[in-house]
Amino acid sequence: MILQAHLHSLCLLMLYLATGYGQEGKFSGPLKPMTFSIYEGQEPSQIIFQFKANPPAVTFELTGETDNIFVIEREGLLYYNRALDRETRSTHNLQVAALDANGIIVEGPVPITIEVKDINDNRPTFLQSKYEGSVRQNSRPGKPFLYINATDLDDPATPNGQLYYQIVIQLPMINNVMYFQINNKTGAISLTREGSQELNPAKNPSYNLVISVKDMGGQSENSFSDTTSVDIIVTENIWKAPKPVEMVENSTDPHPIKITQVRWNDPGAQYSLVDKEKLPRFPFSIDQEGDIYVTQPLDREEKDAYVFYAVAKDEYGKPLSYPLEIHVKVKDINDNPPTCPSPVTVFEVQENERLGNSIGTLTAHDRDEENTANSFLNYRIVEQTPKLPMDGLFLIQTYAGMLQLAKQSLKKQDTPQYNLTIEVSDKDFKTLCFVQINIIDINDQIPIFEKSDYGNLTLAEDTNVGSTILTIQATDADEPFTGSSKILYHIEKGDSEGRLGVDTDPHTNTGYVIIKKPLDFETAAVSNIVFKAENPEPLVFGVTYNASSFAKFTLIVTDVNEAPQFSQHVFQAKVSEDVAIGTKVGNVTAKDPEGLDISYSLRRDTRGWLKIDHVTGEIFSVAPLDREAGSPYRVQVVATEVGGSSLSSVSEFHLILMDVNDNPPRLAKDYTGLFFCHPLSAPGSLIFEATDDDQHLFRGPHFTFSLGSGSLQNDWEVSKINGTHARLSTRHTDFEEREYVVLIRINDGGRPPLEGIVSLPVTFCSCVEGSCFRPAGHQTGIPTVGMAVGILLTTLLVIGIILAVVFIRIKKDKGKDNVESAQASEVKPLRS
């Protein structure tokens, strides 16, 4: 036995040395507190550490939670002889002490902690092989109604013990839609959004789910798993809107009064009401049992129906489901008397009204509910005033309120007005309404002129428009200030041109004949005018207008010499601007009212382009026309009587000139100052614009561009950008520092085409900060430096001489020194 122990120790020592555990500090060392982590399930006889003894210690002793697994050799070699199991013990607390030869502890004991690290050696298992639960239809999606649980003995702090739940099968599966979902970590089962909307116990009262659980967080193919079955019963949703409620208005019962209720599927819900209409007074409440109350009496006439919502929330204030719509209808009671449409209702009736005809309808109102006995009204006449020529002249339809003439036609001579008292009643209330009936005179009298002939009236044809030329008068025996007695005057004959009109004074029925259009001796020297007087109201049957309603007068217009009259205020013609001289470009016409001959002439022909035939009015060109100089060209035409008073009148003649292509292209602006910085580092380009003075269509000009000389092609090129712009580019960089003049040929493509050759001066110069630097040099007309100095000195000398003479005359006693001093003082600022 002793031999076997020695052999075992020898083997461990050899293993210890072979595996490198003899390295000082990593796998061996002095006795001190230490912690070791070892995976469970490893092969036994694994060396943990080699403790070194310090004299006088010669051996070691192991105590604590060894569980007959951990052993220490006399030489200090700590190892375990069986595989560890974390699920049995996750931590072993050991103590190691060093002993001398006599077995006495000389060092320690020190704590040694063995932590057993987990491996995935346990499969998860459900706590139940089968689960049962229930859920109500329309439950809120995502709210758990059932929890399932599985356990795993592995370390939950490692993936080995992290469980992952998953629904494997749902039966039945309708349209491949999942109605249920599970929280992968907690195992909480809830409805999906589709399940909340579509679960119906009438169609499928139960469902079965197969649920799996995996360790390793479900992320490893080598994870362990387990399955269980879940039976789910679908119960009916009791969160439903109640039936509409009817409440009698003005209830005298003690309030609040319970009128209906709502219930959530589970206890603990928090209920509230939401006013859909945002009323200033909301007479409803709900308690936490879901009972709904009306808190005060309702008035149907104030509001006949209410719509609001009941809401159920969880303990966190989140809605459990959709709100329920609550309808409350207020039932009517007869609590309102009839009301009259106005304090006095006024009707009018003509004095010849037939028996039975409607006079008018009295419409009373009742605020109670329409089309019920509470608002059904009866009408009855209780008094007529006056009772002339008899009582009972009127009757009223009992239910419709329509008044009719009952016994005989009315006459205004008997009384112009009747007053009726009418009783309006419903089943409980009575109200008196008052009606006034005015008798209207009928139009049975025609207007009669005070005289039928107003004689002759002579006027000059230039009498002002708007002048009153005659006053006429007719009378009507009907009631004054009514449509039956109002008179309107019309001209029936003699004024087909509408030159006259008649205004009526509404108070006196006097007619004033006025001139509406200018009189004309030439077309109507004598007019026999016939007036008709009539009423705006139609005459009664059997009465017609006769000769008494007509009158006449004769209008004599005297001649006045008038100026000629043009047929148009403005004459207009259109010709091409390149017409030949002498071409007829238009004509004007005028007539003299008296038939005299007319002579035509022109005014304001500022350019001298036109002449007019004095007799015919034809207009001709007498010089080249130019649209660009002005179009339309406007002149005045004068028509003058030949003989007589030589009166004249003026009209306008507008000559519109149509464009022809007669202007060559040119540069749109002055392009002096174009430059390139010398020397060129790369070919450069400049952009220029062309234009011409001709008229262009909507698309604008379409110029083409080319170099004006073939000798320029080696140095320059020109390219078109659009119809008006082109780019001038250098072909190389080897240019001298000087000015170049580039000729550009521009063609307008017109009919006929015109082209122009323009010059673009381009300077190659040294640049300073991007600007062209040109050293000063002699230019034509500019004096040289020497000339400038000579001019300056000559000017100074002349000024000095003038100043000297002045000072000599003022101060004769001063000598030449004073003069020179004065001269120097004057010259000095000029030199500064």
- Residue pair 567/533 in contact (Cβ under 8 Å)? The answer is no
Residues of the chain with pLDDT under 70: 1-26, 644, 696-699, 774-791, 805-832
**How does DSSP assign 230-291, residue by residue?**
EEEEEE-----PPPPEEEETT--S-S-EEEEE---SSTT-EEEEEETT--SS--EEE-TTSE
Q: Could you give the CA distance from residue 487 to residue 377 in angstroms, rounded to a whole number?
A: 45
For residue 452, the model assigns a pLDDT of 93
Going by the DSSP 8-state scheme, the letter that residue 421 receives in this structure is E
Q: Residue 10 burial by CB count (10 A; 0-12/13-18/19+): exposed, middle or buried?
A: exposed
Q: Which CATH number fits domain 565-658: 2.40.10.410, 1.10.150.20, 2.60.40.60, 2.160.10.10?
A: 2.60.40.60
Domain with CATH 2.60.40.60 in the chain: 28-117, 125-235, 245-331, 344-440, 447-558, 565-658, 666-772
For residue 9, the tally of other CB atoms under 10 A from its CB is 14
What pLDDT, on a 0 to 100 scale, did the predictor assign at position 418? 95
Predicted pLDDT of residue 6? 42
Count of residues for the chain? Answer: 832
pLDDT in tens, 669-699: 888 888 999 988 889 899 999 988 777 665 6
Q: What's the pLDDT score for residue 425?
A: 95
Strand partners, 438: 348, 417
429 in Cβ contact with 412 (< 8 Å): no
φ, ψ dihedrals at 491, nearest 5°? -90, 115
Is the overall model pTM greater than 0.75, yes or no? no
Closest CA to 64 of 10, 12, 108, 1: 108
Say which CATH class 666-772 falls into: mainly beta
pLDDT for position 5: 42
In angstroms, the CA 540 to CA 409 distance is: 15
**Are 691 and 665 a contacting pair, CB within 8 Å?**
yes
Q: Which residue has the tokens 């003026």?
A: 650
Strands 245-248, 257-261: pairing is: unpaired
Please give the torsion angle defined by the CA atoms of residues 536, 540, 545 and 548, in that order, rounded to the nearest 10 degrees.
Answer: -90
With a CB cutoff of 8 Å and minimum separation 6, the contacts of 251 are 257, 297, 298
Q: Which CATH number fits domain 125-235: 2.40.50.100, 2.30.30.90, 2.60.40.60, 3.30.930.10?
A: 2.60.40.60
Cβ pair 37, 3 in contact under 8 A:
no
Beta-strand ranges (E) seen in 448-597 are 448-449, 453-460, 468-475, 488-493, 500-504, 510-515, 526-534, 550-558, 565-566, 570-576, 584-587, 590-591
CA–CA separation, 788 and 213 (whole Å)? 110
Q: Which residues, including other chains, have CB under 8 Å from residue 294's CB and lie 6 or more apart?
A: 247, 255, 256, 257, 259, 283, 284, 328
Q: Would you state the pLDDT for residue 286?
A: 96
Strands 618-621 and 610-612 turn out to be antiparallel
CA nearest to 134, candidates 205, 197, 202:
205
CA nearest neighbour of 239 among 181, 188, 314 = 314
Distance between CA atoms of 207 and 134, rounded to whole angstroms?
10
Right CATH for 344-440 from 3.40.50.10380, 2.40.30.20, 2.60.40.60, 3.40.980.10: 2.60.40.60
Output phi, psi for 393, to 5 deg: -70, -20
CATH code for the structural domain at 447-558: 2.60.40.60
Q: Give 614-637 pLDDT, tens digit per residue.
A: 999 999 999 999 887 878 999 999
Assigned superfamily of 28-117:
Cadherins (2.60.40.60)
Q: What is the CA radius of gyration of the chain?
A: 62
Amino acid in the structure at residue 211? I
Compute the half-sphere exposure of residue 446: CA atoms within 13 Å on the CB side of its CA. Answer: 15
Q: What pLDDT is attached to residue 513?
A: 95
How many CA atoms are closer than 13 Å to the CA of 289, on its beta-carbon side? 6
Domain 245-331 sits in CATH at 2.60.40.60
Return the residue matching tokens 């009866």. 378
C-alpha span between 141 and 193 (Å, rounded):
5
Instruction: Compute the distance between CA of residue 531 and CA of residue 550 in angstroms, rounded to an integer.
Output: 5
Tokens for 574, please give them. Answer: 């259109």
Which of these, 498, 490, 511, 491, lies nearest to 465 by C-alpha position? 498
